[in-house]
Structure 1
Amino acid sequence: MTGTSIALRHARVRYGPLEALHGVTLVAPGPGLTVLLGRNGSGRTTALRALAGTLPLCGGAVAWDGADVTRAPAHERARRGLRLVPERRAVFGSLTVRENLELAGPVTGFALDAYPQLRPLLARRAGTLSGGEQRMLALARALPAHARVLLVDEPTQGMAPSVAAHTYELLAALDACVVIAEQRLPPVLRGRPAFVYALRRGTVVFAGEAGEWTGSPGSPGSPGRRGE
């Protein structure tokens, strides 16, 4: 896959009278991993949804490989190779694990090799799975899709530490532009080539390499470059 990138340019998003993003600028290059950090209410999930097109901007732009796609609807971005794995409702609870996987295409060895824990659960309804198992299923659907851009909100929520570490390895190895939203920087990513943006109250307060990040979003002692 050739290199690709997706970006927000001075993006503003409103929920009714409340502005959730205040002119956020960030660039996620690929292949590679970009991490959006922030507490609940920081704007990290809003930024993912703005990139995916499921939330409209009230100002600024979304650029994909330098082209303005701000007005492109979510289904058009998906057709071009963008995949969003939301934090909630990422699987169809009334369908079985196998049926969920089949919605993304034939159930391949790749999907199940990524998470072999799902093999004995293929006949189970997805809604009966634990939170961590549902995250595995959601990612097993997305990983074989060969997305150009993959956006994942809290990919390892509910997973055991060993499965979470495996998940980050899978995401970091993808030949795609991968953007994940997390509350804290996963320790396994500190030694990897990943770029970090920390958001606080809808603004970027830190931008730098994962190895430079030492604090929490908005902490005054965090090194690195401030967002534009």
Structure 2
Amino acid sequence: MTTTVLSLRGARVRYGPLEALHGVTLAAPGPGLTVLLGRNGSGRTTVLRALAGAVPLSGGAVWWDGVDVTGVPAYERARRGLCLVPERQAVFGSLTVRENLALTAPDPEPALDAYPPLRPLLERRAGTLSGGEQRMLALCRALLARARVVLVDEPAQGMSPAVAARTYALLAALDACVVVAEQRLPPALYGHPAFAYVLRRGAVVFAGESGELGGSASARQP
């Protein structure tokens, strides 16, 4: 049984004189997978950051487990079990792969089972990894955190199709409220029971089951 865990209610976010979100309302269930789709500049990353508390709202509210957490800072949301994996700078480049994982949990084995290609790279500095390898490392840290809410911006960026499909399978299997942001619906989610929101210019223009978007023009190019 799934219930709404995290939601935005009429959320507005401003960057200086520009408003990036224009009264966005959406809800993410848990456990379950929610997908935010939109081109660059659509507001999908800002939605993730607003949910995490990384940017303040100029209007509206963030609710978590039926409680208004709009004024709760990002570090406190993290303590309560929220994990944000940003698109960029998601790992500590000066630390090794092993050291990055140790920041989250002393035993990295459960996460390494998810991404075996990282095993021979444990002593490499994260900053020397490829883009896809860095995404795997960032997601390993998210898996180790055992968070109640996981927010991921473009989780499969730089990955091969096979690894990308595995990544979405891992995210969908988490016992957590998972929200991911992508430019278009990933092929791995065609037919998958996920809820989707399409954003355009800071507003929600579609809300429904991801299956309603599969193969459509709006899914390929929201």
TM-score (norm 2): 0.96
Instruction: Note the alpha carbon deviations across 1:40-85, whole angstroms, 9 max, x for none.
Output: 0000000000000000000000000111000000011001100000
1:216 maps to which residue? 218
The 1-side partners of 2:120 and 2:49 are apart by 33
Secondary structure of the corresponding residue to residue 217 of structure 2: coil
* 1:7 partnered with 2:7: yes
Are the equivalent residues in 2 in contact too, given 1:199–1:218 (CA < 8 A)? Answer: no
CA 80–66 in structure 1, closer or farther in 2 if over 3 Å, else same: same
* 1:31 partnered with 2:20: no
- More deviation in 131-140 or 186-195? 186-195
2:195 maps to which residue? 195
- More deviation in 39-48 or 181-190? 181-190
- More deviation in 137-146 or 197-206? 137-146
The 1-side partners of 2:96 and 2:26 are apart by 38
The 1-side partners of 2:75 and 2:88 are apart by 19
The 2-side partners of 1:153 and 1:78 are apart by 16
Alignment of 1:165-204 (within 5 A): 165-204=165-204
Give, in angstroms, the shift of residue 146 of structure 1: 1.2
Secondary structure of the corresponding residue to residue 133 of structure 1: helix
Secondary structure of the corresponding residue to residue 98 of structure 1: helix
Q: Which runs of 4+ in 1 moved over 6 A?
A: none
* 1:114 partnered with 2:102: no
Are the equivalent residues in 1 in contact too, given 2:35–2:197 (CA < 8 A)? Answer: yes
The 1-side partners of 2:197 and 2:112 are apart by 32
CA 7–145 in structure 1, closer or farther in 2 if over 3 Å, else same: same
1:83 maps to which residue? 83
1:92 maps to which residue? 92
Alignment identity in percent?
77
1:225 maps to which residue? none
CA 83–146 in structure 1, closer or farther in 2 if over 3 Å, else same: same
Instruction: Note the alpha carbon deviations across 1:18-52, whole angstroms, 9 max, x for none.
Output: 00000000000110000000000000000000000
Alignment of 1:135-150 (within 5 A): 135-150=135-150
Would you say how many aligned residue pairs link Structure 1 and Structure 2?
A: 220
- More deviation in 1-10 or 127-136? 1-10
Are the equivalent residues in 2 in contact too, given 1:38–1:217 (CA < 8 A)? Answer: no
Give, in angstroms, the shift of residue 218 of structure 1: 11
Are the equivalent residues in 2 in contact too, given 1:149–1:177 (CA < 8 A)? Answer: yes
Give, in angstroms, the shift of residue 145 of structure 1: 1.2
Secondary structure of the corresponding residue to residue 216 of structure 1: helix
Give, in angstroms, the shift of residue 108 of structure 1: 2.9
The 2-side partners of 1:4 and 1:210 are apart by 17
Gaps of 5+ in 1: 223-228
Secondary structure of the corresponding residue to residue 20 of structure 1: strand
TM-score (norm 1): 0.93
Instruction: Note the alpha carbon deviations across 1:162-212, whole angstroms, 9 max, x for none.
Output: 100000000000000000000010111121110000000000000000100
